[in-house]
Amino acid sequence: MKRLIARGYRAKDRPSGYEITHKFQRNLGGSIPANVIQYGLPGIEGAEEASNWLVRGNNESNSIYIRRCAEMGQRVHPARFPAALPEFFIRLLSTEEDVVVDPFAGSNTTGSVAEGLRRRWLSFELDRAYVENSELRFEEAAHSAS
């Protein structure tokens, strides 16, 4: 896109069948705007001016994962993120039966979401306790499905 904008181009249908119009000449900084995903709730500083597509709070204090970790006396992973974050990208970048890879799994939110969206997945985590506790995510997914 940046090269075409710099060189200039003629609006026309491409061999792929995609129509490139004169609107393509505007540099929007890439395909996905930087403010597509913003943590927090409406009303936070800057949110009023932004055109966010996905706004989610980063809270899951009542999730099955949190409750089961507490019941088992296990550490809850400190850097959890809302399932809406990997869900957005998994839906955007893959189709059913594709493989999703998470090299820093933590509590394995991504693996759980991928499974729920009928993707195969690979997750990697160095801390064995977090790996073992990530099984609780799948209890949560099974509970949500029923």
Report pLDDT digits (tens) over 101-132: 999 999 999 999 999 999 999 999 999 999 99
Place of tokens 């990997």: 86
Confidence tier at 23 by pLDDT (50, 70, 90): confident
The domain made up of 54-145 is a member of CATH 3.30.420.40: no
In this prediction the pTM is: 0.61
List the beta bridge partners of residue 122: 101
Query: What secondary structure, in 3-state letters, does the chain show?
Result: CHHHHHHCCCCEECCCCCEECHHHHCCCCCCCCCCCEEECCCCCCCCCCCCCCEEECCCCCCCHHHHHHHHHCCCCCCCCCCCHHHHHHHHHHCCCCCEEEECCCCCCHHHHHHHHCCCEEEECCCCHHHHHHHHHHHHHHHHHHC
* pLDDT of residue 100 exceeding 90: yes
The C-alpha angle 12, 19, 50, rounded to 5 degrees, equals: 120
More confident residue, 136 or 51: 136
Kind of pairing between the strands at 19-20 and 12-13: antiparallel
Q: Could you give the residue range(s) of every CATH 3.40.50.150 domain in the chain?
A: 54-145
